[in-house]
Structures are given as C-alpha cells and as structure tokens.
Structure 1
C-alpha cells in the first residue's frame, strides 16, 4: 500500500494517508476563500480510517454549526475539513478531507471538478475542462 505524507507550513503537524485520494476538487465557496485566504482551495478525500495525524495536533474552528476546519495553531495552515451532516447524498463522516496542496507531493492529486462556482471570484478565469457545479 502506498503511503503519502503531508503537513503544515512550519512542520509542527504531519499526517499520512494510505493510498491515493479517492476524489479531489476545487472549492470556490466563500467560506473556503475566507478560511484559506485564496480564491479557491483544492480538497481531497480518503477514507477516514486511511488518514492519520502522525505528529502534532490540529486546532479546530467551527464557525458554521457542524463544519470543522482543522489547522496548525503555530503557523495557521488549514489542513482538514469535516462536516457532521450528510451533504449531497454522501456521509461525510466516513471520509477525511484534507487540503491537497499540503501533501509533500501534491502532484498525485487529480482534481475532478470545480464546486461552488456560484461563489467564484469574477477575476478567476477557468481554462480547464473540468465539470463545474453551482453548489456541491
């Protein structure tokens, strides 16, 4: 089994995932824009059992009820996203979502779609042919 590693900017938090991400996509929602300070973020997911924090511990913020973002308390890097409820027909508690670019080698990620393009900033011009969804 392939083990992929990643972590935060300062190195205080490290994680491992077993195997490649099962899905990845670019999220343009306003919440992600504010939380990560960018026009969009690329999230990836693996089965929750395949994601392990190997050093350090995440701080979490729950600005929206039932949605937690995990980040490094030292450098502020956002690493994870978790939702308690079922959304878009998926049981999100079965998955571990992580910011794809926090992998040591983010080139293994293959985004499949753009989501929440209803929140996309007007100065972002998408040139790829990935599917686009108004919401998730």
Structure 2
C-alpha cells in the first residue's frame, strides 16, 4: 500500500473521511439503482480496496437499497457517500476533496446506461456567470459548502449578514 492519503466529505461538512493508501478502482456505475441513489445519470464511485478508510467527523445514515447493498449518506445535507456490499465499500468520487485525482477506469451496469451519456461532451458549454442576465443572483452568490479540506471545527461560522 502506498503512503497516499486522500480526504473528503459531504457538502455541508458534517461528514469527513480520510483514505490512506491507493484505492482500488475508480468507476462509473450506470445501473438504475445508482442513478436514483445519486439523482444523476450515473454514479461515480471509488472502491477503497485495501486502502484504510477512517471517518474523521460525523456518522453516516444508511438506506438499504437492496438485499445486498446499503448506501451511506449525510443526514444533514443528503450527500451520497458510500456504496457498501459484501465485496467492499466504495466512496462517492465527488465527495473527495480532489476528485480529479481519481479518474474512472471502468464502467459498470452498462445495461442501464442512458443512450445520450456518451454524447454529453458534445453539448454546448457555458461558464456559470455566462447566465448572469437570466440569473442575476449569481453575481453575489456566497457558497455555504464546506471547503475542500479538513477544518478544525464544524459548522464553519459564516458572517451574520449571510445567515438566513
């Protein structure tokens, strides 16, 4: 096992983890169960393999999605965090602080792949602020998302003027 350590967590910061060692197989799953669990066209997952997973903040809530699989998520913000089955645990790729370092190497559940997924890269592209005329609130949006690194405390205090 390598000395690599990766951290991550949910959107609000209530759940944080540390993964020491190299994960096994970053993947994408197209099965309908993963689509629904992630609310997306597919689920990007990272199998932890022999790496050591430590939950450093919070406790997951679980949904038993089948007789063999349970899925962990943050009860505070709803971020999908784990896919857990007899063959191991996989962590949602987007919950890593640096998801770009874990590109997928295989696709699973391709029988459920939506027909347009392979063409997503051909769609027109826009940056977030390109929509400023139709969504003027974007010009002064303040994210309350937990930063992509560990913090000493949670929740992170936000300025009083931004509390709602």
**TM range, normalised to the smaller chain?**
0.7 to 0.9
2:103 pairs with 1:110: yes
Q: Stretches of 4+ moved more than 4 A in 1? A: none
Give the alignment's Cα RMSD to 1 decimal: 1.8
Quote how far apart the aligned CAs of 1:46 are: 1.6
Query: Which has more helix, going by share of residues?
Result: 2
Aligned counterparts of 1:22 and 1:48: Cα–Cα separation in 2: 7
Aligned length, in residue pairs: 119
Aligned counterparts of 1:118 and 1:83: Cα–Cα separation in 2: 20
Q: Deviations over 1:54-81 (max 9, x none)?
A: 0000000103112100000000001001
Aligned counterparts of 1:122 and 1:83: Cα–Cα separation in 2: 27
Checking the alignment, whether the CA contact within 8 Å between 1:48 and 1:96 is kept in structure 2 is no
Aligned counterparts of 2:45 and 2:56: Cα–Cα separation in 1: 20
Aligned counterparts of 2:120 and 2:12: Cα–Cα separation in 1: 32
Checking the alignment, whether the CA contact within 8 Å between 2:25 and 2:106 is kept in structure 1 is no
Quote how far apart the aligned CAs of 1:126 are: 5.5
Counterpart of 1:54? Answer: 56
Quote how far apart the aligned CAs of 1:20 are: 2.9
TM-score for the superposition, normalised by structure 1: 0.80
Quote how far apart the aligned CAs of 1:41 are: 1.2
Mapping of residues 83-122 of structure 1, within 5 Å: 83-84=85-86, 92=87, 95-122=88-115
Choose which of 27, 30, 33 in structure 2 pairs with 1:28.
30
The secondary structure found in structure 1 opposite 2:35 is helix
Aligned counterparts of 1:42 and 1:63: Cα–Cα separation in 2: 17
Q: Mark the structure with the bigger radius of gyration.
A: 2
The secondary structure found in structure 2 opposite 1:57 is coil
For structure 2, list consecutive stretches of 5 or more residues without a partner in the other structure: 122-164
Aligned counterparts of 2:72 and 2:112: Cα–Cα separation in 1: 22
Counterpart of 1:68? Answer: 70
